[in-house]
């Protein structure tokens, strides 16, 4: 600057003192400093902003509202509210469930559970913080079923009023042997309505009589009589044969020793009424039949300590309402397929020939031992060894029932909509527990490729702790602190307080509770090898 020529010319320029130049320089420098200062401030501000934005984002994230969805309506929930407050804020109501009676009819609309809050399909608590969830939806409340008193009845008659009988119509079985229908009734506490649920068990019937096993039941009516009954017992005992004695209650008092001998010999005592009245006479109804049978039953039970399974009406005559009542009282009704008419004393040869003429698998032979019956005794002396040599098993009525009707054709069980067809395995299945084969096992059932085994025998072999409740038809099993209850007619197995649904319900067959082999393994903690039919089931206990 010092050497700058005074080229600008003019009076004013020339008049300026050098002091102005210094001043201008100073002003310039000040401006520069201020600019630098502003730049530094802006830089600090930018840096502060860069720090603030994420902070704001974090705050915004935590303060974001949750989405509320009820059916097609949407709303928003502030994070500081609870799920239920948030719902109230939207002004949307969720319909509650209804209160239903035991039949499913509505007793009180809206009397059920209030709606349920859900997040991602899972129920969440209504007092949970809304901010814990992105989206909250609400489902209509569940219906509630009123409290109900439950009673369970075991019904020997699988289908009330229907009896099962072989095609030759001689024997009315009260129920297919060993099968028990179960009726569960619930009575609503508030409505008083009743609901009945039945597990219906029916036999799978044989398709033809030709498949019947070679068994014959010899039956003797109107006794007992000292000499005749004893003579017949001797003949039967000599040939390993069994018979059934349909005694008259009014004869039993005189012959209690003989009634005991019948039972002790493995033969069967059955009920043939008190006094041999004709049940079907006019004016005699179901109660007449039941009272008469009960009177005879009482003295038979006192004499021999047995309860009769079988009833044979005098003259074979009953009315249909009497038959229904007798079957429902738990008796099976035996008629006959071969009537020897021995009471007319046609000669022992004729009696023998009639027996042999009608001898066939499933025959029930009617004879009489009330009073002196020399002809009948003689006929038996020839017929019994002859039938045995022909390969017939001469059995009691109850054994006959088991072999004929219950000849393991299997059963069908209906539970609600589901039907289970349970048949005996076509090939024998051996059951081993800890390497030991269980002998003489009760007939098993095969259902959908699984084998049902007798639960008590297998649990005994596994040394498991259990309790069989005959009345409730349940087996309670203790295992590793867990307690399982297997109910015979149910797919639901309870384990302590919780429920497990099992594939195949435990079933009663020949009055023995059967449970699928893998279910036994499951509740006892045992291991099970090979669960398919046919073959072997091998359990190993955990001890
Ligand atoms: Zn008679």
pLDDT digits (tens, 9 = 90+) for 41-52: 999 999 888 888
Q: Is residue 52 part of a domain?
A: no
Residues 124 and 159 in one domain: no
47: in domain: no
Whether residue 8 is contained in a domain is answered as no
| Statement to judge: residues 412 and 514 lie in one domain | yes
- Give pTM, 2 decimals: 0.49
What is the predicted pLDDT for the residue at 507? 85
Residue 349 in any domain: the answer is: yes
Q: Is 339 a catalytic residue?
A: no
Overall average pLDDT of the 256-281 stretch:
95
The answer to which of 12-26, 153-167, 491-505 has the lowest mean pLDDT is 153-167
Of the ranges 93-102, 140-149, 196-205, 449-458, the best mean pLDDT one: 449-458
On whether the CB atoms of residues 388 and 418 are closer than 8 A, the answer is: no
Q: Tell me the per-residue pLDDT of 398-424, one tens digit each, with 9 for 90 and over.
A: 888 777 765 456 777 877 778 888 887
Q: How far is residue 104's CA from residue 82's CA, in Å, rounded to a whole number?
A: 34
In terms of pLDDT, which residue wins out, 123 or 338?
Answer: 338
Q: Classify each residue of 50-81 as buried b or exposed e, where b means 16 or more C-beta atoms within 10 Å of its C-beta.
A: eeeeeeeeeeeeeeeebebebeeeebebeeeb
Q: For residues 315 and 123, what is the distance between their CA atoms, to the nearest angstrom?
A: 70
**Residue 454 is assigned to a structural domain of this protein:** yes
DSSP 365-408: EEEE-SS--HHHHHHHHHHHHHHHHTT-EE--HHHHHHHHTTSS
Q: Does residue 19 or residue 346 have the better pLDDT?
A: 346
Residues 366, 309 within the same domain? yes
**pLDDT value of residue 161:** 35
**Cα–Cα distance for residue pair 445/509, rounded to 1 Å:** 8
DSSP letter, residue 114: P
- Residues 386-393 have a mean pLDDT of 96
Q: Hey, which residues does 454 pair with through a beta bridge?
A: 514
Ligand 1 centroid–CA 206 distance in Å is 31
pLDDT grade for 285, boundaries at 50, 70 and 90? very high
pLDDT confidence of residue 266: 95
Both tokens of residue 148?
């109900």
Provide the pLDDT for residue 92.
75
- The pLDDT of 430-459, averaged and rounded, is 88
Domain range for 296 is: 210-403
Residues 261 and 361 in one domain: yes
CA of 333 to the centre of ligand 1 (A): 14
Q: Is the pLDDT of residue 166 over 50?
A: no
| Percent of the chain scoring above 70 in pLDDT | 86
Average pLDDT over residues 176-194: 68
pLDDT of residue 225: 94
pLDDT higher than 80, residue 21: yes
CA of 233 to the centre of ligand 1 (A): 19
Q: What is the pLDDT averaged over residues 306-312?
A: 93
Q: Give CA–CA dist 200/411, Å, rounded.
A: 10
Ligand 1 center to 279 CA (angstroms): 12
Claim to verify: residue 158 and residue 106 sit in the same structural domain: no
Q: What is the mean pLDDT of the chain?
A: 83
Of 171-175, 268-272, 528-532, the poorest mean pLDDT is in 171-175
Asked whether residue 327 is domain-assigned, the answer is: yes
pLDDT confidence tier of residue 470, bands split at 50, 70 and 90: confident
Name the residue among 382, 348, 347, 351 with its Cα closest to residue 366.
351
Residues contacting 341, CB < 8 A, separation 6+: 354
Residues 299 and 268 in one domain: yes
Tell me, in angstroms, the distance from the centre of ligand 1 to residue 272's CA.
Answer: 7
| Cα 465 from Cα 524, distance rounded (Å) | 9
- Distance in angstroms (rounded) separating the CA atoms of residues 147 and 144: 9
Q: Is residue 49 part of a domain?
A: no
Instruction: Give Rg (Cα) of the chain.
Output: 45
In the DSSP assignment, the letter for residue 209 is G
Mark which of 382, 403, 424 sits at the end of a domain.
Answer: 403
**Residue of 267, 272, 276, 368 with catalytic role:** 368
Which residues contact residue 222 at a Cβ distance below 8 angstroms, ignoring those fewer than 6 apart?
Answer: 246, 247, 248, 251, 272, 276, 368, 369, 370, 371
Span from the CA of 326 to the centroid of ligand 1 (angstroms): 17
SS3 for 296-344 is HHHHHHHHHCCCCCEECCHHHCCCHHHHHHHHHCCCEEECCCEECCHHH
User: Which sign does the torsion angle of CA 425, 428, 431, 432 carry?
Assistant: negative
CATH of the domain at 361: 3.20.20.370
**What confidence score (pLDDT) does residue 156 get?**
46
Please spell the DSSP secondary structure of 463-483, one letter per residue: T-EEEEETTTTEEEEEETTEE
Q: Residue 207's pLDDT is what? A: 44
For 282, residues 6+ apart whose C-beta sits below 8 A from its C-beta are none
Evaluate the CA torsion angle 275, 277, 283, 284 in order and state its sign: positive
Give the Å distance between the CA of 335 and the centre of ligand 1. 11
Distance 350 CA to ligand 1 centre (A): 20
pLDDT at 164: 44
- For the cut 90, the answer to whether the pLDDT of residue 1 exceeds it is no
239 is catalytic: no
pLDDT band at 219 (very low <50, low <70, confident <90, very high): very high
* CA 479–ligand 1 middle distance (angstroms): 55
Q: How far is the CA of 344 from the centre of ligand 1 (A)?
A: 13
- The span from the CA of 207 to the CA of 201, in Å, is 18
Of 142, 158, 187, which residue is a domain's last? 142
116 and 238 share one domain: no
User: Distance from the CA of 97 to the center of ligand 1, in angstroms?
Assistant: 65
Which CATH number do you get for residue 521? Answer: 3.30.457.10
235-265 pLDDT, tens digit each? 999 999 999 999 999 999 999 999 999 999 9
Window from 39-48, 118-127, 194-203 with minimum mean pLDDT: 194-203
**Cα distances (angstroms) measured from residue 489 to each of 3, 177, 331, 416, 515:** 122, 17, 23, 11, 11
Provide the domain count of the chain: 3
Spell out the residues 6+ positions from residue 153 whose beta carbon is closer than 8 angstroms to its own: 182, 183, 184, 185
Q: Based on the domain organization, do 197 and 242 belong to the same domain?
A: no
Q: How far is CA 430 from the centre of its chain?
A: 25
Question: pLDDT band for position 29 (50/70/90)?
Answer: very high
Average pLDDT over residues 74-86: 79
Cβ atoms of 331 and 324 closer than 8 Å: no
Cα of first residue to Cα of last residue in the chain, in angstroms, is 112
Is 45 part of any domain? no
Q: Token pair for residue 529?
A: 């090898």
| Spatial distance between the Cα atoms of 424 and 409, rounded to a whole number of angstroms | 7
Q: Are residues 349 and 234 in the same domain?
A: yes
Does pLDDT of 154 surpass 90? no
Tell me the residues surrounding ligand 1 (ion) with CB < 5 Å: 221-222, 314
Q: What is the pLDDT of residues 474-526, one digit of tens each?
A: 899 988 778 899 988 788 888 887 888 888 888 888 778 899 998 999 888 88
What is the predicted pLDDT for the residue at 386? Answer: 97
How many CA within 13 A on the CB side of residue 231?
A: 19
Nearest alpha-carbon partner for 517 in 446, 469, 463, 460: 446
How many helices (H) and strands (E) in the chain?
Answer: 13, 35
Residues 176 and 295 in one domain: no
pLDDT band at 72 (very low <50, low <70, confident <90, very high): confident
**Do 278 and 329 share a domain, yes or no?**
yes
State residue 259's pLDDT score.
Answer: 96
- Do residues 253 and 331 share a domain? yes
254-258 contacts: CB < 8 A, separation 24 or more?
A: 255/223, 255/224, 255/225, 255/226, 255/229, 256/302, 256/303, 256/304, 258/223, 258/224, 258/225, 258/226, 258/229, 258/230
Q: Which of 98, 101, 155, 221 is catalytic?
A: 221
Q: How far apart are CA 241 and CA 394, in angstroms?
A: 5
Q: Pick from 356, 372, 403: which residue ends a domain?
A: 403
C-alpha 260 to ligand 1 mean position (Å): 20
């Amino acid at each position: 600057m010092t050497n700058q020529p005074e080229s600008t010319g003019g009076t004013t320029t020339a008049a300026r003192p050098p002091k102005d130049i210094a001043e201008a320089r100073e002003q310039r420098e000040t401006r520069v400093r201020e600019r630098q200062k502003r730049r530094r401030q802006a830089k600090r501000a930018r840096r502060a902003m860069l720090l603030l934005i994420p902070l704001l984002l974090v705050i915004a994230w935590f303060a974001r509202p949750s989405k509320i969805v009820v059916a097609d309506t949407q709303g928003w929930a502030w994070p500081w509210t609870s799920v239920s407050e948030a719902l109230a804020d939207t002004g949307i109501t969720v319909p509650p469930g209804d209160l239903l009676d035991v039949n499913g009819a509505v007793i009180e609309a809206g009397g059920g559970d209030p709606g349920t809050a859900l997040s991602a399909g899972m129920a969440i608590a209504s007092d949970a913080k809304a901010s814990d969830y992105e989206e909250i939806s609400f489902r209509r409340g569940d219906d509630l079923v009123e409290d109900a008193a439950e009673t369970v009845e075991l019904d020997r008659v699988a289908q009330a009023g229907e009896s099962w009988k072989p095609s030759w119509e001689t024997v009315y079985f009260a129920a297919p042997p060993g099968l028990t229908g179960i009726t569960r009734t619930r009575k609503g506490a508030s409505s008083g309505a009743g609901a009945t649920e039945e597990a219906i068990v029916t036999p799978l019937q044989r398709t033809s009589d030709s498949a019947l096993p070679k068994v014959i039941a010899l039956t003797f009516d109107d006794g007992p009589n000292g000499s005749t009954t004893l003579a017949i017992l001797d003949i039967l005992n000599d040939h390993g044969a069994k018979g059934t004695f349909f005694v008259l209650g009014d004869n039993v008092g005189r012959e209690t020793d003989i009634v005991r001998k019948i039972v002790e010999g493995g033969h069967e005592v059955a009920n043939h009424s008190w006094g041999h009245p004709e049940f079907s006479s006019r004016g005699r109804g179901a109660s007449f039949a039941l009272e008469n049978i009960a009177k005879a039953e009482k003295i038979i039970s006192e004499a021999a300590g047995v309860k009769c399974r079988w009833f044979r009406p005098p003259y074979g005559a009953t009315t249909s309402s009497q038959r229904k009542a007798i079957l429902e009282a738990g008796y099976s009704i035996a008629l006959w397929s071969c009537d020897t008419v021995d009471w007319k004393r046609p000669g022992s040869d004729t009696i023998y020939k009639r027996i042999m003429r009608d001898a066939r698998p499933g025959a029930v032979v009617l004879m009489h031992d009330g009073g002196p019956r020399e002809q009948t005794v003689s006929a038996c002396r020839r017929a019994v060894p002859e039938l045995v040599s022909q390969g017939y098993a001469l059995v009691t009525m109850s054994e006959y029932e088991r072999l004929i009707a219950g000849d393991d054709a299997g059963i069908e069980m209906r539970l609600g909509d589901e039907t289970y067809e349970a048949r005996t395995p076509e090939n024998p299945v051996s059951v081993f527990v800890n390497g030991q084969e269980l002998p003489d096992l009760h007939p098993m059932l095969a259902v959908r490729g699984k084998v049902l085994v007798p639960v008590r025998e297998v649990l005994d072999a596994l040394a498991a702790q259990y309790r069989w409740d005959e009345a409730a038809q349940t087996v309670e099993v203790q295992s590793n602190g867990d307690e399982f209850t297997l109910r015979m007619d149910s797919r639901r197995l309870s384990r302590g307080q919780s429920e497990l649904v099992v594939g195949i319900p435990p079933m009663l067959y020949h009055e023995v509770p059967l449970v699928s082999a893998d279910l036994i393994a499951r509740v006892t903690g045992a291991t099970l090898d090979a669960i398919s039919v046919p073959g072997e089931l091998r359990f190993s206990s955990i001890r």
